Amino acid sequence: MQANEQHYYSPEAYLELEEHAEFRSEYHNGQIFPMAGGTPNHNRIVVNLVSALDSAFADQPYDVFTSDLRLWIPRKRLYTYPDVMVVAGELALVEGRKDTITNPVAIVEVLSESTKNYDRGEKFEFYRTLFSFREYLLIDQTKIHVEHCTKTTDNTWLLAEYEDIETTLNFAAIPFQISLTSIYKKVAF
């Protein structure tokens, strides 16, 4: 991630700029970072996952959101747009906003060359400061490889990795399972 300028922006100034921007940007502690564009593989993975989640939760108290909805992480002063978020129960919106939430239970990021280290490292650290957050899925778009992080009852995080296309991934924080075949449907390596 590279800062747009070495200029400090207040959260209010960032939100004002973002409302009129042609492209989305992430905000962290006073700096604004432009977000990279997606690829067909990235988009296919997000669509596959969101379609399956939305269908599974049609009559359940879960909402599924894509990167059009912003996430605020107050303890890290970060506004960001995860690829997929799942919220259990009611949305916790930032006061005065209809486009920014604070309570995902599960987050999915599709990895790209430019963001994979950030998504695995510092961004995951930031996400873990959210009380509601219990599950993190990192999906590689260049090969079959999924990293599945789950928070246990004693507040430790467990990592499982999957590379077999026949694997069925069972979520822990939400009542959902999906095969890697379904996640990677129509993805061209």
The DSSP element (H or E) to which 88 belongs, if any, is strand 84-88
Lowest model confidence (mean pLDDT) among 52-56, 112-116, 149-153: 112-116
Mean pLDDT calculated for residue range 101-130 = 96
pLDDT tens digits for range 173-189? 999 999 999 999 999 99
**Do 11 and 26 meet the contact criterion of CB atoms below 8 Å apart?**
no
Other CB atoms within a 10 A radius of the CB of residue 59 amount to 5
**Do 124 and 149 meet the contact criterion of CB atoms below 8 Å apart?**
yes
pLDDT tens digits for range 55-79? 999 999 999 999 999 999 999 999 9
> What is the model's pTM?
0.92
Mean pLDDT calculated for residue range 127-131 = 97
Other CB atoms within a 10 A radius of the CB of residue 152 amount to 10
**Do 146 and 108 meet the contact criterion of CB atoms below 8 Å apart?**
no
pLDDT at 49: 98
Beta-strand pair 84-88/135-140: unpaired
pLDDT at 1: 47
**Do 76 and 86 meet the contact criterion of CB atoms below 8 Å apart?**
no
pLDDT at 36: 73
**Do 45 and 183 meet the contact criterion of CB atoms below 8 Å apart?**
yes
165: exposed, middle or buried (Cβ count in 10 Å: 0-12, 13-18, 19+):
exposed
Angle at 122 between CA 117 and CA 123, to 5 degrees: 90
Residue with tokens 């990167």: 67
Quote the CA–CA distance of 58 and 175 in Å, as a whole number: 12
Walk me through the domains of the chain, giving residue ranges and CATH numbers. Answer: 1-35 (no CATH), 39-183 (3.90.1570.10)
165 φψ region: left (φ > 0), alpha (ψ -120 to 50), beta (else) = alpha
pLDDT tens digits for range 115-124? 899 999 999 9
pLDDT tens digits for range 25-40? 999 999 999 887 789 9
Confidence band for 91, pLDDT divided at 50, 70 and 90: very high
